[in-house]
Amino acid sequence: MNNPDRKNGPYKSRHGKVCGVCAGLADHFGINPFWLRIGVVILFLATGIWPTLILYFIAALIMKPKPAQPLRNSGEEDFYDAYVRSPNFTIHQIHEKFKNLDRRIQRMEDTVTKRSYDWDSRFNA
C-alpha cells in the first residue's frame, strides 16, 4: 500500500469502530485493521483492562483526525495542523486576513472612482 499520508504521522480514521485509533494506525503502517484490532484485544486481555484502555484513549486524544481531503502541499499541511490544534484561532486569523483584503480593495475602489483619478490618468498618459 502506498499511502501519501505516512510522512505526516498516523491520523485517527474517520471510519473507525471506536475513536478510529486502530484503523488509523493500520492505515499508517499498511496492515489490515482487523489484525491490529485482534492484537489490541490480546494486549487488552494480557495486561488487564486499565493499562490498555488508558493507552488507547491517550492515543485517541493525541492523534489528529485524518483530513477529509488529501493534503497537496506544505501550506495545506500547516493550515490543517493549525486548525486541528486551535480551530477558533485559525478561523479568527482567516477572518482578519479577509478584513484586511476588504479594506485594501475598498481603498483601491475609492482611488479609482474618485473624480480626480480620471483627470490624472488623462493628463499623465
Three-state DSSP state, 64:
strand
Give yes or no for residue 25 having a pLDDT over 60. yes
Average pLDDT, the chain: 82
Query: Domain locations in the chain?
Result: 1-72, 86-125
- CA distances to 88, 99, 106, 111, 119 from 59, rounded to whole Å, are 23, 38, 48, 55, 67
Give yes or no for residue 111 having a pLDDT over 90. no
Give yes or no for residue 61 having a pLDDT over 60. yes
- Provide mean pLDDT across the span 85-107: 88
Residues 6+ apart with CB under 8 A from 60: 12, 19, 20, 21
pLDDT band at 118 (very low <50, low <70, confident <90, very high): low
pLDDT given at position 1: 42
Residues above pLDDT 70, as percent of the chain: 87
